[in-house]
Amino acid sequence: MVFFGFSQISRHFSKFTKMSKSALVILAPGAEEMEFIIAADVLRRAGIKVTVAGLNGGEAVKCSRDVQILPDTSLDQVASVKFDVVVLPGGLGGSNAMGESSLVGDLLRSQESAGGLIAAICAAPTVLAKHGVASGKSLTSYPSMKPQLVDNYSYVDDKTVVKDGNLITSRGPGTAYEFALRIAEELAGKDKVQEVAKGLLVAYN
């Protein structure tokens, strides 16, 4: 078993960058580790203040590959706080849990009505469908999730990241860097994202 306190791993980035924008990353049991960690880490490297909120409390969350991650706080403690972006990592178990949560539904609908950014990757776009969020927009997802999305969205098969207004979606673990960098570009600008990508040795155009 591997155990990480996520705040302890990446908190030091905040000492070197001014954080003006904010992100909420929801961590649910069964989340895809790569998608969660890459999103939260890249956003922090871009100078965005990231809050990791556990769906079911502030205790360690077991992810899809049995990695346990300690969130910063519980979702119910920050659900009324306004964030510039709400990020939904994928993973089938985590996505199902978020899709069944009325608190997540209320939060996403509030974020949408306020014009805030919502970002979802892999199986997580199905959470939007379950809560009736962003209906009619263009999006993508992990390929096997497509049947759950085609009726209510304009589904895109040939792009790894899709942005439609205040919605950003992506396909899976292998597209997590591009997904995270696209969110960061929206909040921190192209120059900052190019700087982050260069440091990570990741190509980003």
Spatial separation of the C-alpha atoms in residues 19 and 36, rounded to whole Å: 20
Within the chain, strands assigned E span 2-5, 22-27, 49-54, 61-62, 67-70, 73-74, 85-88, 117-121, 138-139, 154-155, 161-164, 167-170
CA 118 to chain centre: 8
User: How many C-beta atoms lie closer than 10 Å to residue 4's C-beta?
Assistant: 16
Q: Assess contact for 10 and 69: CB atoms under 8 A.
A: no
Set 38, 52, 104, 122: catalytic member: 122
Q: Assess contact for 87 and 38: CB atoms under 8 A.
A: no
Whether 63 is catalytic: no
Residues taking part in catalysis? 122
